[in-house]
Amino acid sequence: MTAAAPAPRGRAASRGRIDKRQAILDAAFTVFANRGYAGACMEEIAEVAGVAKHTVYNHLGDKESLFHAAMEAAGSAVMAENLALAEQLTVDQSAVASTAGGQADPVRTRLEDVGRLLLHQCCDPRSWALRRLLHAEITRFPDLLEAVWGRGADRLRQTLADRMARLSLAGLLRPCDPVEAAEQFLALLTGPMEARSQLGTRPVPDAERELVAHAAVSTFLRAYRDAAPGASPSPSSLPATA
């Protein structure tokens, strides 16, 4: 994951000690998440990692480097999971054809599956901690954006846009800007979670996430598939209920 450690010194150092480096990175992320950058102290990080303070300095230099490395590692981990999910968003043509006249709806099902899974990861305490730290320190460490997001949320958006383009081209969605579709799909999914989870401080029950995913997909499909292509902007075309 964290692409080959910079090999602290001479030839040795890439021994069975790599797990110690990882333990330090994990501990660092935990402590930074709990206390914030300025509030975290190196001693506690060492303690949580089960390691002497000196060892932390030996492996990862000063506090700032440690922070950077810990954030990058956490970001890479989250990114890998998310990306794997987004790539699942494919609807094989056979499934579409075989249910052409039936009641099944493979596109909807697939979107809901992916949405559900994305929300699950997005609500993971680790994800929230990462997001919070990013928000917290972004003004003091602008490089974090590239290091954490450039390898995470950004590529997720791209991958998702690719899938949208495929769906649109296959006629499963109306013709649209796939980037915009991906952006709005993600917005519909994750937007509501911020308030519902109270910035990640409240655990959101599975059922509630399910609900949000369902609502997001419904709205998305209404807009990107079911809507009349040239829907008249005039209110005279309303169903005029009640």
Binding site for DNA (CB under 7 A): 8-10, 12-13, 15-17, 20, 39-43, 50-55, 57-59, 62-64
Residue in the structure block whose two tokens are 């402590």: 31
Task: Report what 57 binds from its own copies, DNA, none; CB cut-off 5-8 Å by kind.
Answer: DNA
Which CB atom, from 20 or from 174, has the smaller least distance to DNA? 20
Least distance from C-beta 192 to its own copies, angstroms? Answer: 5
Which CB atom, from 7 or from 84, has the smaller least distance to DNA? 7
Which CB atom, from 29 or from 220, has the smaller least distance to its own copies? 220
Q: Which of 87, 137, 208, 210 contacts its own copies by CB under 8 A?
A: 137
Task: Report what 50 binds from its own copies, DNA, none; CB cut-off 5-8 Å by kind.
Answer: DNA
Cα distance between residue 178 and residue 164, in whole Å? 5
Which CB atom, from 2 or from 190, has the smaller least distance to DNA? 2
The token duo for 148 is 């954490």
Which CB atom, from 34 or from 88, has the smaller least distance to DNA? 34
End-to-end Cα distance, the chain: 58
195 is an interface residue for its own copies by CB under 8 A: yes
| Spatial CA neighbour of 126 closest among 150, 163, 152 | 152
The token duo for 210 is 């399910």
Cα 166 from chain centroid? Answer: 21
Q: Which of 105, 113, 162, 208 contacts its own copies by CB under 8 A?
A: 105
Cα distance between residue 194 and residue 9, in whole Å? 44
**Region for residue 61 given its phi and psi (left: phi exceeds 0; alpha: psi -120 to 50; beta: otherwise):** left
94 is an interface residue for its own copies by CB under 8 A: no
| Spatial CA neighbour of 133 closest among 185, 83, 200 | 200
